[in-house]
A and B are shown apart, each in its own frame.
Chain A
Amino acid sequence: MGKLLGIEGVNKTYQSGLSSFQALTDIKLDINRGEIVVILGPSGSGKSTLINAIGGIDRVDSGTIHVDSEDIVSLNDNQLVHYRREKVGFVFQMYNLIPNLTVYENIELAANISKSPLTIDELIDAVGLTGMANRFPRELSGGQQQRVSIARAIVRKPELLLCDEPTGALDSKISKEILKLIQQINDKYNTTVLIITHNEAISAMADRVIALKDGKIESNTINKQPIEPEGIEW
């Protein structure tokens, strides 16, 4: 269980007009391969900013972010695209599916730009969408859409699965199913998972829980006995 992610001295300031806002302050964080990490924190504490920086879709002002010993802060745009293709899968709160592509095609969109993607049909079965390959997102429930989004994220077998409030728009029963799916993926592919949530209860399933406040890491605790998502008390 080696280290996958090493963050050191990361700062990020947003400039808007004359005022500036320090969203991340001196972040230091190590995450091991295969861990499920839950990031907690109040709204505006910098959770999304952090995960976007790790995912290589946003830049930080200073510090290093090593993924597999490669510092992604020093990568140029093209190298970052490469990094995202090879190592990262994103899951968003609002699913962000392309509305006029079918389930299959939405997943294919990510598979297309990968050298050795998973078989899409198998994956559709694996995320519990058997028989829905040809449906459009508007013909699916929120939970089903999120399953598509997860399938799209993992079709390229990423090392990092970054989920920004994946259950934020879903009720507790569906949320548990989604979390279960994420956990299964973590199990099966040894994918390192980062889950942002407002919901402290979810931290029960995590190997590691990080609490952010005002752009700083307030706590970083190892959960000795993570429980199955079904057991989470909502």
Chain B
Amino acid sequence: MVVTLWKKLFRTIKEKKAQYLAAWVLIVISSALFYSFTAAGTNLVDNLDTFYQTNHVEDANFVVQDPLKKTDKLEEQFDLQLERRLSVDVPMKEDTIVRLLNETHSIDTYSVIEGRKLQSDQDILIDQGFAKAHDISIGDQLDLSGEQFVVKGTMAIPDYIYPLRITSGFLKNPSAFGVAIVQGDVLKNMPNTHSYYSVRFNQDNKETFKHLLNENNHVLQWIGKQDNNRITFIQGDIAAVKKMGESLPIGILLITLVIILILLWRLMKKEYVQIGTLYAIGYKKSEIVRHYLTYAALLALSGSIVGTLLGWLLMHPLISVFSAYYNLPVLTTNPHAGYLLISLLLPLVFFVPLTYILVRRVLRIPPVILMKGGRIKTKVNKVERIFKLRNLKFAKKFILRDIFRNLPRIGFLSIGVMFATLLLLMGFITKDSMTYLVHDNFTEVYHYKYEYTFNQLQTEPPQSGQPASSIPSAIETKEGDQSLVLTGLEPDNSAIQLKDMDGNRLKFDSVIINKSLADKLDIAEGDKIEVTSQLSNKTFPIRIDHIANSYLGDMIYMPLEQLNQLNDYPKDSYMALYSDKELAIPKEKLASKSLTDNMVTGFEQIIQPLNYGIIAIALVAAIIAVIIIYILISLLIEENSYKISLMKVIGYNERTIQKLMIGYNVWFVILGFFIAIPITLVSISAFLNSITAEMNITIPVKIDWVNIAISFFVILAAYYVTLLLNKRLLKKVSMHEAINKSTE
């Protein structure tokens, strides 16, 4: 493009800097979000994959009744890796448990994050989050179960990347639970050591392996990698980060695209005469097209470059927050050229085609007509004609006519506000849904403190506590196996309490499926399904009687008697006991004893970063709302400057002019807000479903009306801020314009 035209371009942008800057900021936000989220997400995936690979993540862990004898023979026979694991839960302080694990060599090996490897029996490595929560540093002494340990550093292991106490849990709580690694021999001498196996298959022979184990031993527990929240949660979370990074910026870009189109269209309309003159003095159509395209391209490129740079800066803290939350060692961060390129070019690719079409359209007007300032339209709008405005009072007539003449812009105002609201509500809904899941759902469902799992089936009636048996199972679906936990309970069990969708308490004399699993399998009451036990590979049919309003895990509950019968277990046998108080059960009989998490306190801690996140999102949403409303209202003032000037000449004061010309917009802001509510609910539920697809839970979409009210005030405040910003513009419209129209 010719140098002189560049000068014109820069000066035009300078004259309208507020509007262009506003659009530019949106592009920067969009690129920064896109690049930081997608690049961070991809880096995390890469590091996670590397970690899983180099540290040999397990495919499953299992508990058998009798210890396995010749593990090396099994490994050879089935071409797999097998390693015995030892673990013991040791109280450190009140309400704080450290799980000591033995050092492994072929599966789930540890990486030192800080410090050095284990060298002696006194050495201990602890997980990062726990170390931080308890202010433990290298060199500290830990007294655990009477043994003295010296902290040699922090570590990460693949099967505790998200350190949950129980595999089906979903909120970690580093102040109450942490894992630590010590040398193998140390644990052998400790009381209450629990033993299990981790396995890594090289071939698709899981079933035959299990079959062999069940021949002369019993598989009591089998947790596949995909059912282990300690391993899978991080994947769902990374997926969420990436999805946010991909969808949110596109939305912002779409809004920006419309804004830029409006700005350019308006600019070209004002410059009809100039365009015609450029023609006349010998400029080619393509040169003029290029000139106007440059506005969009310049905004897009400069915005995306700055945005991507910001994104690059933002990516690192994002990765470290994430990797610290999950116990993931991050070894390398790459710029990821693909995302870098997309981030740099996406706005350009987005804007250029449509602006090109717009500019071409304007340039189809013959130059002689452009030079006369274009065709002047004075036709009365169709909608306007339908309503008979004549009979209305002046003010109403005036406002309605303005609305009819500006329908597209007003529509866009509503859409823009809708988008900002969507963003704002998204934060709140995520929080409200989590709160619901924990406060309402978890505490309502689980009413026991201790869970004792035996190392073999018990047939003696329990002295106290409520008996239960849980069998990891699976259902075949079109998309592959859906795993679930099948739990048998006594009909009058009260340790677990479920309600149906209408809020009525359910008794365990029937087969009950929880809502999250029912939704995943698309099951209704009365349906029959085939369930396969992961322990014995036996398949049996069950008929679903009720759906319970619970979203924790993928669960089916049935009468214990029926469960025993289906699995050929002895009558009245059970595997576990739930109890409110501690039971005196000899430890030789137990496979594990666990305390339910104190969910609510853990939740408060976990929700804290989410609160900051929500504030950040709200801020971005408010900025976007302000920008959109600001641009639209400033355009409104500009386009009507002649009318405003005339009103000033006639003697209207600015307040009345504002009321007549701008005031009505508030109704469309409010309209946009209310349209956003159902749209947000629908899109959030789609979003949550897609990220929890790989996880063991479903997050029901809930929103607190207080938060809706807060969002409403944020949006309304944004509107009033733009009114203040635009006050100057309104003031600047001079009365000369109406007196001396021909100068324009």
With a cutoff of 8 Å between Cβ atoms, the chain B residues found around residue A113 in the complex are: 2, 281-283
Q: Are A58 and B281 in contact (CB under 8 A)?
A: no
Complex-state Cα separation, A108 to B7, whole angstroms: 11
Q: Are B280 and A112 in contact (CB under 8 A)?
A: no
With a cutoff of 8 Å between Cβ atoms, the chain A residues found around residue B282 in the complex are: 81, 84-85, 88, 110, 113, 156
Q: Which residue of B lies closest to A169 (CB)?
A: B742
Interface string of B139-176 (1 = CB under 8 A from A): 00000000000000000000000000000000000000
Q: Are B368 and A105 in contact (CB under 8 A)?
A: no
With a cutoff of 8 Å between Cβ atoms, the chain B residues found around residue A45 in the complex are: none
Question: Which residues of B507-532 have CB atoms within 8 Å of chain A's CB atoms?
Answer: none
Q: Are A58 and B4 in contact (CB under 8 A)?
A: no
Q: Are B7 and A58 in contact (CB under 8 A)?
A: no
With a cutoff of 8 Å between Cβ atoms, the chain A residues found around residue B4 in the complex are: 101, 105, 108-109, 112
With a cutoff of 8 Å between Cβ atoms, the chain A residues found around residue B736 in the complex are: none
Whether a CB of chain A sits under 8 angstroms from the CB of B397 is no
Q: Are A100 and B367 in contact (CB under 8 A)?
A: no
Whether a CB of chain A sits under 8 angstroms from the CB of B277 is yes
Selected interface stretch from B8-16, B579-587, B648-656, B723-731: B8-16
Interface string of A158-199 (1 = CB under 8 A from B): 000000000000000000000000000000000000000000
Complex-state Cα separation, A89 to B5, whole angstroms: 19
Main secondary structure of the interface of B (DSSP, over half): helix
CB A223 to nearest CB in B, in angstroms, measures: 28
Q: Are B8 and A98 in contact (CB under 8 A)?
A: yes
Q: Are A101 and B367 in contact (CB under 8 A)?
A: no
Q: Which residue of A lies closest to B287 (CB)?
A: A113
With a cutoff of 8 Å between Cβ atoms, the chain B residues found around residue A84 in the complex are: 280-282
Whether a CB of chain B sits under 8 angstroms from the CB of A32 is no
Interface string of B252-280 (1 = CB under 8 A from A): 00000000000000000000011011111
Given contacts A96-B277, A152-B281, contact A57 B368 (CB under 8 A): yes
CB B145 to nearest CB in A, in angstroms, measures: 80
Complex-state Cα separation, A38 to B368, whole angstroms: 21
Question: Which residues of B278-301 have CB atoms within 8 Å of chain A's CB atoms?
Answer: 278-285
Complex-state Cα separation, A88 to B281, whole angstroms: 8
Interface string of B1-37 (1 = CB under 8 A from A): 0111101100110010000000000000000000000
Per the CB 8 Å criterion, the residue count for chain A at the interface is: 28
Q: Are A100 and B8 in contact (CB under 8 A)?
A: yes
With a cutoff of 8 Å between Cβ atoms, the chain B residues found around residue A57 in the complex are: 276, 279-280, 367-368
Whether a CB of chain B sits under 8 angstroms from the CB of A46 is no
Complex-state Cα separation, A132 to B308, whole angstroms: 44
Complex-state Cα separation, A84 to B4, whole angstroms: 19
Q: Are B366 and A92 in contact (CB under 8 A)?
A: no
Whether a CB of chain A sits under 8 angstroms from the CB of B240 is no
Q: Which residue of A lies closest to B274 (CB)?
A: A98
With a cutoff of 8 Å between Cβ atoms, the chain B residues found around residue A110 in the complex are: 281-282
Which of B4, B12, B281, B368 has the most C-beta atoms of chain A within 10 angstroms of its own C-beta? Answer: B281
Name the one of A58, A81, A96, A100 contacting B283, with C-beta atoms under 8 angstroms.
A81
Complex-state Cα separation, A152 to B280, whole angstroms: 11
With a cutoff of 8 Å between Cβ atoms, the chain B residues found around residue A112 in the complex are: 2-4
Q: Are A52 and B368 in contact (CB under 8 A)?
A: yes
With a cutoff of 8 Å between Cβ atoms, the chain A residues found around residue B2 in the complex are: 109, 112-113
Q: Are B7 and A101 in contact (CB under 8 A)?
A: yes
Interface string of B679-722 (1 = CB under 8 A from A): 00000000000000000000000000000000000000000000
With a cutoff of 8 Å between Cβ atoms, the chain A residues found around residue B284 in the complex are: 78, 81
With a cutoff of 8 Å between Cβ atoms, the chain B residues found around residue A89 in the complex are: 281
Interface string of A42-77 (1 = CB under 8 A from B): 000000100010010110000000000000000001
Whether a CB of chain A sits under 8 angstroms from the CB of B371 is yes
Question: Which residues of B525-567 have CB atoms within 8 Å of chain A's CB atoms?
Answer: none
With a cutoff of 8 Å between Cβ atoms, the chain B residues found around residue A94 in the complex are: 273
Interface string of B472-490 (1 = CB under 8 A from A): 0000000000000000000
CB A56 to nearest CB in B, in angstroms, measures: 9
Q: Are A55 and B8 in contact (CB under 8 A)?
A: no
Complex-state Cα separation, A116 to B56, whole angstroms: 74
Per the CB 8 Å criterion, the residue count for chain B at the interface is: 25
With a cutoff of 8 Å between Cβ atoms, the chain B residues found around residue A100 in the complex are: 7-8, 11-12, 15
Q: Are B371 and A101 in contact (CB under 8 A)?
A: no
With a cutoff of 8 Å between Cβ atoms, the chain A residues found around residue B5 in the complex are: 109
Q: Are A109 and B281 in contact (CB under 8 A)?
A: yes
Given contacts A57-B367, A96-B273, A96-B371, contact A105 B280 (CB under 8 A): no
With a cutoff of 8 Å between Cβ atoms, the chain A residues found around residue B273 in the complex are: 94, 96
Which of A94, A98, A113 has the most C-beta atoms of chain B within 10 angstroms of its own C-beta? Answer: A98
CB B253 to nearest CB in A, in angstroms, measures: 29
Q: Which residue of A lies closest to B279 (CB)?
A: A57
Complex-state Cα separation, A180 to B5, whole angstroms: 31
CB A164 to nearest CB in B, in angstroms, measures: 10
Complex-state Cα separation, A97 to B274, whole angstroms: 7
Which of A57, A78, A84 has the most C-beta atoms of chain B within 10 angstroms of its own C-beta? Answer: A57
Complex-state Cα separation, A219 to B281, whole angstroms: 30
CB B374 to nearest CB in A, in angstroms, measures: 14
Q: Are A90 and B368 in contact (CB under 8 A)?
A: no
With a cutoff of 8 Å between Cβ atoms, the chain A residues found around residue B278 in the complex are: 109
Interface string of B341-383 (1 = CB under 8 A from A): 0000000000000000000000000111001000000000000
Q: Which residue of B lies closest to A59 (CB)?
A: B366
With a cutoff of 8 Å between Cβ atoms, the chain B residues found around residue A58 in the complex are: 366-368
Which of B4, B8, B11 has the most C-beta atoms of chain A within 10 angstroms of its own C-beta? Answer: B4
Complex-state Cα separation, A57 to B280, whole angstroms: 6
With a cutoff of 8 Å between Cβ atoms, the chain B residues found around residue A88 in the complex are: 282
Complex-state Cα separation, A55 to B277, whole angstroms: 12
Q: Which residue of A lies closest to B10 (CB)?
A: A100
Complex-state Cα separation, A77 to B12, whole angstroms: 29
Given contacts A57-B367, A109-B281, A152-B281, contact A101 B8 (CB under 8 A): yes
CB B70 to nearest CB in A, in angstroms, measures: 87
Complex-state Cα separation, A113 to B1, whole angstroms: 11
With a cutoff of 8 Å between Cβ atoms, the chain B residues found around residue A78 in the complex are: 284
Complex-state Cα separation, A88 to B282, whole angstroms: 8
CB B564 to nearest CB in A, in angstroms, measures: 87
CB A141 to nearest CB in B, in angstroms, measures: 13
CB B671 to nearest CB in A, in angstroms, measures: 38
Complex-state Cα separation, A58 to B279, whole angstroms: 11
Complex-state Cα separation, A94 to B283, whole angstroms: 19
Given contacts A55-B280, A77-B285, contact A105 B7 (CB under 8 A): yes
CB B492 to nearest CB in A, in angstroms, measures: 85
Complex-state Cα separation, A96 to B278, whole angstroms: 9
Q: Are B11 and A90 in contact (CB under 8 A)?
A: no
Q: Are B277 and A92 in contact (CB under 8 A)?
A: yes
With a cutoff of 8 Å between Cβ atoms, the chain A residues found around residue B11 in the complex are: 100-101
Complex-state Cα separation, A77 to B282, whole angstroms: 11
Q: Which residue of A lies closest to B271 (CB)?
A: A98
With a cutoff of 8 Å between Cβ atoms, the chain B residues found around residue A48 in the complex are: 368
Complex-state Cα separation, A108 to B368, whole angstroms: 23
Complex-state Cα separation, A87 to B83, whole angstroms: 90
Complex-state Cα separation, A14 to B336, whole angstroms: 59
CB A142 to nearest CB in B, in angstroms, measures: 11
Complex-state Cα separation, A218 to B7, whole angstroms: 47
With a cutoff of 8 Å between Cβ atoms, the chain B residues found around residue A156 in the complex are: 282
With a cutoff of 8 Å between Cβ atoms, the chain A residues found around residue B274 in the complex are: 96, 98
Q: Which residue of A lies closest to B2 (CB)?
A: A112
With a cutoff of 8 Å between Cβ atoms, the chain A residues found around residue B366 in the complex are: 58
CB A134 to nearest CB in B, in angstroms, measures: 12
Which 7 A-B residue pairs are closest in the complex by CB-CB distance? A85-B282, A100-B11, A96-B277, A84-B282, A112-B2, A90-B280, A109-B4
What 12 new A-B contacts, CB under 8 Å, besides A92-B371, A100-B12, A110-B281? A77-B285, A81-B283, A84-B281, A90-B277, A90-B281, A96-B273, A96-B371, A98-B274, A101-B11, A109-B5, A112-B2, A113-B2
Q: List 5 A-B contacts (CB under 8 A).
A: A84-B282, A96-B273, A96-B277, A105-B4, A109-B5
Question: Which A residues have a C-beta under 8 Å from some C-beta of B?
Answer: 48, 52, 55, 57-58, 77-78, 81, 84-85, 88-90, 92, 94, 96, 98, 100-101, 105, 108-110, 112-113, 152-153, 156
